[in-house]
């Protein structure tokens, strides 16, 4: 069973009195996030998605950001650099417990020139921290942070077991 958290947005400007003129206009973006198990050696993601794992397990957080349609042949978006935090693990009350990966270049953002049907894919290796789920199985939200402008943050519910 394949589980993905997907968020989409239409960033089209309509004639209105109060528009944010710095916001992207005229394109539709889809951002999906999922958790995958390891391949044969854990150097790469395996083919199966996961809904849960144990503390100490190695899993992969996959991000796919796609341009679905655009009024122009290309659309510019702002994305976090590979060395920046791509996702966070949050509790039910919104407390951030873990950054995936830990940021090595805070506030690094780059412009990405999307063309129709193009996809940005990233896989972040995550060794599940032993401080999570200390009292038993616990559900966490894995929240994607790659797409900065337009800002989309998909949430994927994931259970961590002892």
pLDDT tens string 119-150: 888 999 999 988 888 888 999 999 999 988 88
CATH of the domain at 50: 2.60.40.3880
8 Å CB contact between 155 and 63 = no
User: What's the rounded Cα separation, in Å, for the pair 131 and 56?
Assistant: 10
pLDDT tens string 65-85: 988 887 877 778 888 888 888
Number of domains the chain is built from: 1
Position 25 scores a pLDDT of: 61
Q: Which two tokens stand for residue 128?
A: 């599940």
User: What's the rounded Cα separation, in Å, for the pair 137 and 139?
Assistant: 7
Owning domain of residue 153: 5-161
**87, β-bridge pairs:** 100, 144
pLDDT tens string 17-55: 333 334 456 778 889 999 999 988 899 999 999 999 999
User: What's the rounded Cα separation, in Å, for the pair 37 and 58?
Assistant: 7
């Amino acid at each position: 069973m394949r589980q993905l958290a997907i968020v989409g947005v239409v960033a089209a400007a309509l004639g209105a009195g109060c528009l944010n003129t710095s916001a992207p206009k005229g394109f539709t973006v889809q951002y999906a996030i999922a958790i995958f198990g390891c391949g044969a050696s854990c150097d790469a993601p395996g083919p199966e998605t996961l809904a849960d794992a144990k503390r100490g397990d190695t899993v992969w957080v996959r991000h796919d950001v796609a341009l679905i349609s655009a009024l122009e042949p290309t659309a510019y978006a702002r994305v976090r650099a590979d060395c920046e935090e791509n996702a966070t693990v949050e509790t039910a009350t919104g407390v951030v417990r873990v950054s995936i990966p830990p940021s090595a270049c805070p506030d690094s953002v780059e412009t990405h020139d999307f063309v129709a049907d193009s996809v940005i894919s990233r896989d972040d290796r995550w060794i599940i921290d032993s401080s999570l789920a200390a009292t038993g199985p616990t559900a966490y939200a894995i929240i994607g942070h790659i797409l900065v402008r337009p800002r989309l943050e998909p949430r994927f519910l994931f259970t961590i077991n002892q």
